[in-house]
Structure 1
Amino acid sequence: MSEMSNISSERNLLPPKSDLEANQTTPVEVVSSSELTTEEWSDRIFLERQVERAFYAAAKALKALRDRRLYRSTHATFEDYCRSRFGFTHRHVNYLIAGSLVVDNLMGTNGSQIENSDKTGTNGSQVENLDEMGTNGSQIENSDETGTNGSQILPTSERQVRPLVPLEPEQQRQAWQKAVELAGGKIPSGRIVQDIVDKIRERTKVPNPYRLGEVCTLLPKDNPELKGRSGCWGVITHVGDYSCTLETWDAEYTVKIEHLKSLELLDNDCQFMQQLCARLRRLHEIENRDIAVDWLCLGLGKQPLPYLSPLQEKLLADVEQEYGLR
């Protein structure tokens, strides 16, 4: 009897069955929400902007490295530095920097103003009309610090702005706006931009007065890519409708025809200068060359004369022999 009494007493200590059922853990189905939180929206906008501005940021960094000569502790020239550090050719670097100047023009900045793009989307980084794409199809409202008004669709790659480089600033803005319209309000491809530029050029076509093999000097004027190159001579290796490619002793430049001045040499003199340019370039291509080699090449590369003095020829020949080029 005592055992039965104890069992009955223990049963009485248990909670009612209804209470047990109520306290049972019920499995909860976790549903992944497609909606973004405010913080997630902010992160998305920030990351999208980094992607959109990747080429622009790289170009600005390269320009600063070049202008401040921050490569000088390890490399004799900026061209060597870019090739060694980044695997970039001189032409590619020129394309990037020239493209960034076009973007500056499209944004209405002078290149020295930096857009404040923080993750909160405030303080000069406001986003207009967020939709399913996160930034209204890449339309970003720029801050007053950039000197722009309203929302803009800006280039995201150098290829999109390359056709705009030879145009005047106002023509660049007009051509880009037209390309955006043709792209349905989205970022246009380089092909669309090129088509617009071709139409503009057809309306204002001026014959290119230069020819292959002609020797010209560079006129920097308002082209920052030619800074410090005034008076440098070179040989034209390509003639386009509105530009030429000029090969100097240390680089290659594709410039508008107004940045060139012909030396108006006779054919025999042009041939001499072509050969001299080739000799200087071979010296420049030598790795671990003495800095004195660049001094010699720089001096001759700014001397627009179709001959060398006896001493100049002797110095050049001695250097060539020193490096096994003769």
Structure 2
Amino acid sequence: MPKPPSRRKKATSPASNNSTSAANSANEDISQQVDPATATITVTAVEVTELTQEEQSDRLHLERKVERAFFEAGKALTELRDRRLYRSTHKAFDEYCLDRFGYNRSRSYQLVDAAVVVDNLQKCPQIVDILPTAEGQVRPMTKLEPQEQQEVWLRAVEVAGGKVPTGRIVKDVVQRIMERTQVPNTYQLGEVCQIFTKDNPELRGKGGCWAIVSAVNDFSCSVRMWDREYTVGLQHLKSYDYLPAECQQMQAICDRISRVYSDSLEETVKSLLQLLGKLNRPYLTAVEEKLLSVLESEYGKIP
């Protein structure tokens, strides 16, 4: 009778043994892990040295330089503009600012206007250490009277808890003051008005000049003059009460002067055009008409 086949013993490969050993070892490691709730974390302390008196002084000095950067820029731009120090390379201040600093017209005058406001704030005895640190904090105040600017800043610092207020806080305070002193704006587009400076530095040299309303805002008007447009508070304007036809005549005169006028003109020519900008009548005399025609032929731009 034949013998039944014998069962062969299953061979165990070294890889299988290694896998089993690794699994057992992993289980042992897991079982030996420490409970996270009772784990101890070692923190290495880093000693922070105090600033010396000299370092504290240097820090304050450098912080002040950063804070006043926009103010110094505005002061420098004002002097460059007023002294026409750009005239050797550029015909107009706007072109110079764009080429030299990358500032468009709006940005240049934002910095100039901001410097005027900070200068005014520094005159207030109650405002000593807390001054604006950015142009955006000043921008909402540029169209206010000097006394109102100081009032707004003091109130904004109070709202900010004695710290430098954000531009949003300043804007909110300005809005409340505007609502408190709101005067209806009755000016019309194309209306001819006389300018009153009333301590507004931006309007320096424009007192008594005529301007044409180009936009009617809540608390101000945008007006066009011989050199550029300005935003003027209602307190700085007085209507000439010209008839519609007379307003159109003045608009035509303004267009003619604007095409001729530029900062690069000789001082004599500029002075003549500025005198035409102070006319208190809605027409040119025969001599004035001839003079303007000559200047147009010599310097005028093709419309």
Q: Give the TM-score taking structure 2 as reference length.
A: 0.71
1:41 aligned partner: 56
The equivalent position to 1:208 in structure 2, one of 176, 180, 185, is 185
Distance 1:301 1:92, change over 3 A: farther
2:73 aligned partner: 58
The equivalent position to 1:172 in structure 2, one of 149, 160, 165, is 149
Let me know the Cα RMSD of the aligned residues: 3.2
Q: Is the 8 A contact 2:260 2:301 kept in 1?
A: no
The equivalent position to 1:222 in structure 2, one of 157, 175, 199, is 199
Distance 1:168 1:292 in 2: 33
Q: Is the 8 A contact 1:166 1:242 kept in 2?
A: no
Distance 1:181 1:258, change over 3 A: same
The equivalent position to 1:308 in structure 2, one of 277, 284, 288, is 284
In the alignment, is residue 71 of structure 1 matched against residue 85 of structure 2? yes
Distance 1:315 1:168, change over 3 A: closer
Q: Is the 8 A contact 2:116 2:201 kept in 1?
A: no
Identity of aligned residues (%): 49
Distance 1:313 1:169, change over 3 A: closer
Q: Which amino acid aligns with 1:46?
A: H
Q: Is the 8 A contact 1:218 1:232 kept in 2?
A: yes
Distance 2:266 2:202 in 1: 26
Distance 1:318 1:59, change over 3 A: same
SS at match of 2:213: strand
**What's the offset of the Cα at 1:191?**
2.0
Using the TM superposition, name which of 260-269 and 150-159 deviates more.
150-159
Stretches of structure 1 lacking an aligned partner (at least 5 in a row): 1-30, 110-147
Q: Superposition pairs for residues 114-153 of structure 1, below 5 Å?
A: 148=125, 152-153=129-130
Distance 2:229 2:301 in 1: 25
**What's the offset of the Cα at 1:50?**
0.3
**What's the offset of the Cα at 1:324?**
5.6
Distance 1:212 1:321, change over 3 A: same
Distance 2:207 2:151 in 1: 30
Q: Is the 8 A contact 2:92 2:264 kept in 1?
A: no
Distance 1:163 1:313, change over 3 A: same
The equivalent position to 1:195 in structure 2, one of 158, 172, 176, is 172
**What's the offset of the Cα at 1:46?**
1.0
Q: Which amino acid aligns with 1:48?
A: E
1:275 aligned partner: 252
In the alignment, is residue 320 of structure 1 matched against residue 300 of structure 2? no
Q: Superposition pairs for residues 97-112 of structure 1, below 5 Å?
A: 97-108=112-123
Distance 1:311 1:173, change over 3 A: closer
Q: Which amino acid aligns with 2:253?
A: L
Q: Is the 8 A contact 1:71 1:78 kept in 2?
A: no
1:156 aligned partner: 133
Distance 1:291 1:205, change over 3 A: closer
SS at match of 2:157: helix
Greater Cα radius of gyration, structure 1 or 2: 2
Distance 1:151 1:293, change over 3 A: closer
The equivalent position to 1:298 in structure 2, one of 265, 268, 274, is 274
Q: Deviations over 1:137-162 (max 9, x none)?
A: xxxxxxxxxxx468632111222122
1:7 aligned partner: none
